[in-house]
Amino acid sequence: MRLSLRNGIKAIVGLALAGTLVLPATAQAQLQPGWRFAPPPGVTMTTTKPRHALMLQGNGQVHPQYLRQVVRYDTTERSGTIVVDTRAHFLYFVLGDGRALRYGIGVARDGFEWSGSHRITRKAEWPGWTPPAEMRKRQPGLPAHMEGGPNNPLGARALYLGSTLYRIHGTNEPWSIGQNVSSGCIRMTNADVIDLYGRVQLNTKVVVLS
């Protein structure tokens, strides 16, 4: 009986790993955080078909301290405001009541730092990228324009800041989160920028700290 039970468990696990096992609703409801086979922190289970494979990109290449999480955050800014702490490599979406949703970010490298307050003036899904003339002069191999898609450096979403050339955007280099790597833009994993994109509205205030 013990051997039969063990073989049965192995068969079920094998089907689950192969993606051929469909759990009933009652069983799926038991897959809660902390259960033995629940997904690790930073991984979201979905039952809907993604519009693009990059929507499934998790934070597996990101240090745990930069995973998206709700934290205590005391600020005088109103709920819905975005605060970017470039030194700590964190972006905060203010929730109110002393809390914020914190994301890990990549920020400007030496010589390209900036700070200030702007508003989100445009939102774009799978944005195209037109490198500024100054950037193309520094890197002659860059294209004049690149259509949006999985190979585009702006990733899955972009939030444009005022009349500046800066954006909060996704990246196809998730390992760069927590680093000083950009020419001034704020980088997030595609999974995180998709999440933030769904929370913010046009004219949202963005405060970038030095």
Per residue in 101-137, pLDDT (tens digit) is 999 999 999 999 999 999 999 999 999 988 878 888 8
CATH 1.10.3720.10 fits 64-209, yes or no: no
pLDDT averaged over every residue in the chain = 80
Residue 189's nearest CA partner among 86, 108, 104, 127 is 104
**What does the pLDDT read at residue 120?**
98
- Cα(195)–Cα(68) distance, integer angstroms: 10
- Cα(156)–Cα(158) distance, integer angstroms: 7
By annotation, the residues acting in catalysis are: 169, 185
**What does the pLDDT read at residue 133?**
82
Can you give the residue ranges of every domain in the chain? 2-38, 64-209
Question: Residue 16 above 80 pLDDT?
Answer: no
Reduced to 3 states (helix: H, G, I; strand: E, B; else coil), residue 28 is: helix
**What does the pLDDT read at residue 146?**
85
Percent of the chain residues past pLDDT 70, beyond the cut: 71
The more confidently predicted of residues 99 and 16 is: 99
Question: Residue 40 above 50 pLDDT?
Answer: no
**What does the pLDDT read at residue 52?**
45
- Cα(144)–Cα(166) distance, integer angstroms: 17
* Mean pLDDT for the stretch of residues 42-49: 46
